[in-house]
Amino acid sequence: MFKSLAGILSNDLAIDLGTANTLVYARNKGLVCSEPSVVAVASDSRGRGERVLAVGSEAKAMLGRTPSGIRAVRPIKDGVIADFEVTEAMLRYFIQKAHNRSKLVRPRMVICVPPEITSVEKRAVRESALSAGAREVFLVEEPMAAAIGAGLDVTAPTGNMVVDVGGGTTDVAVISLSGIVTSSSIRCGGDKMDEAIIQYVRRKYNVLIGERTAEDVKITIGTASPHGKTQTMEIKGRDLVAGIPKTVMATSEEIHEALVEPIGAIVESVHMTLEKTPPELAADIVDRGIVLVGGGSLLRDLDVVLRDRTGLPIMRSDDPFTAVVYGAGKALDDLELLREVSFE
């Protein structure tokens, strides 16, 4: 009785704390927050610590554009927390934004974490959630949440493979009976693609471009396959020789060339996980295919390349950005499922 009352009076939350984006789902409300994982901090003029200036999209617009005294930082790098204090400040901001303060009971929180998280990081995530007002914290591995969000029956004795191409990492996991049977995680995702584009433009044109520009190029004309229709785009940066702003025209073939290495690493990681998969589950995957989630999976023709290289059916999830948070949200609504898939 008390438990069900607590459920009505509190806004239980599910949070996907990603390298690129943080999403929050509130029970009975749905998705309440979806913002870039970026924080702008200003150092105190008297040199006494720092204060948070902006969080989310507002802070993302400041990336690479800050004067001295202000830092726009992405506290989560390569899928792991690189800056604990800033991460905590960000988490608190998003939770406060999502959580209706007038509610009487403190919320229960499900937080999605990378499968390779260390116990120190687990404790840090748990503690920041508690200090931000959680009454109970459940950690769920991202691939598990993604699989639930993509509508797979994770509790069945059947093998399902999920590939999550995020900003910081690509996680590949085979799930059966509410557990991860085999998995691999590489520090290669959307960010590495952006870096590869920066390097390529620098080498080929002697022009330095920023991270935001590189991401824009990737999303607009980037492709995993050399066979698609050619697209072109103007890229603006700074000429490294003359030192002045310069515009170059780039083609999708060039950007494909720039992306060969990160794409190769992603395909390789899927291969390696398939090799480690027990035969009965491998047989299930042949029938059921691989489900692709994560923003990076939107790269043009990534599904085509994976299909060619593995010979398996590839399914893109309907909304790759929200699969993880909605999966965690489903677990929040189903305590039995939550107990099965979460861990200490």
Ligand X SMILES: Nc1ncnc2c1ncn2[C@@H]1O[C@H](COP(=O)(O)OP(=O)(O)OP(=O)(O)O)[C@@H](O)[C@H]1O
Catalog residues that contact Mg ion under the rule CB under 5 A.
18, 166
- Whichever of 281 and 302 has its CB closer to ligand X, that residue is 302
Contacted by 299, from Mg ion, ligand X, none: CB < 5 to 8 Å by type: ligand X
Contacted by 303, from Mg ion, ligand X, none: CB < 5 to 8 Å by type: none
Find the shortest distance in angstroms from Cβ 331 to ligand X: 17
- Whichever of 107 and 295 has its CB closer to ligand X, that residue is 295
Q: CA 152, 154, 160, 166 torsion: positive or negative? A: positive
Find the shortest distance in angstroms from Cβ 92 to ligand X: 18
Find the shortest distance in angstroms from Cβ 214 to ligand X: 9
Contacted by 149, from Mg ion, ligand X, none: CB < 5 to 8 Å by type: none
Q: CA 280, 281, 284, 285 torsion: positive or negative? A: negative
Residues with Cβ within 8 Å of residue 264, at least 6 apart in sequence: none
Provide the total of helices (H) and of strands (E) in the chain, helices listed first. Answer: 12, 19
Q: Is the CB of residue 125 less than 8 Å from the CB of residue 111?
A: yes
Rounded to whole angstroms, the Cα distance separating 256 from 244 reads 27
Closest residue to Mg ion: CB criterion = 166
- Whichever of 7 and 329 has its CB closer to ligand X, that residue is 329
Rounded to whole angstroms, the Cα distance separating 244 from 254 reads 23
Q: Is the CB of residue 184 less than 8 Å from the CB of residue 172?
A: yes
Find the shortest distance in angstroms from Cβ 59 to ligand X: 14
Find the shortest distance in angstroms from Cβ 75 to ligand X: 11
- Whichever of 190 and 329 has its CB closer to ligand X, that residue is 190
Find the shortest distance in angstroms from Cβ 67 to ligand X: 26
Find the shortest distance in angstroms from Cβ 295 to Mg ion: 8
- Whichever of 146 and 174 has its CB closer to ligand X, that residue is 146
In a 3-state reduction of DSSP, which class is residue 311? coil
Find the shortest distance in angstroms from Cβ 182 to ligand X: 19
Contacted by 7, from ligand X, Mg ion, none: CB < 5 to 8 Å by type: none
- Whichever of 17 and 341 has its CB closer to ligand X, that residue is 17
Contacted by 191, from Mg ion, ligand X, none: CB < 5 to 8 Å by type: ligand X
Q: Is the CB of residue 162 less than 8 Å from the CB of residue 284?
A: no
- Whichever of 267 and 281 has its CB closer to ligand X, that residue is 267
Find the shortest distance in angstroms from Cβ 274 to ligand X: 21
- Whichever of 89 and 146 has its CB closer to ligand X, that residue is 146
Contacted by 329, from Mg ion, ligand X, none: CB < 5 to 8 Å by type: none
Residue the block writes with tokens 């991202």? 142
- Whichever of 62 and 324 has its CB closer to Mg ion, that residue is 324
Mutual angle of helices 119-131 and 84-98, in 10-degree steps: 40
Q: Is the CB of residue 45 less than 8 Å from the CB of residue 142?
A: no
Contacted by 167, from Mg ion, ligand X, none: CB < 5 to 8 Å by type: ligand X
Token code pair at residue 181: 């049977």
Rounded to whole angstroms, the Cα distance separating 129 from 342 reads 15
Closest residue to ligand X: CB criterion = 190
Residues with Cβ within 8 Å of residue 260, at least 6 apart in sequence: none
Contacted by 52, from Mg ion, ligand X, none: CB < 5 to 8 Å by type: none
Q: Is the CB of residue 84 less than 8 Å from the CB of residue 124?
A: yes
Residues forming contacts to ligand X in the complex (CB under 6 A) are: 18-21, 79, 166-169, 189-191, 215, 218-219, 222, 294-296, 298-299, 321
Q: Is the CB of residue 231 less than 8 Å from the CB of residue 221?
A: yes
Rounded to whole angstroms, the Cα distance separating 58 from 318 reads 27
Rounded to whole angstroms, the Cα distance separating 309 from 58 reads 40
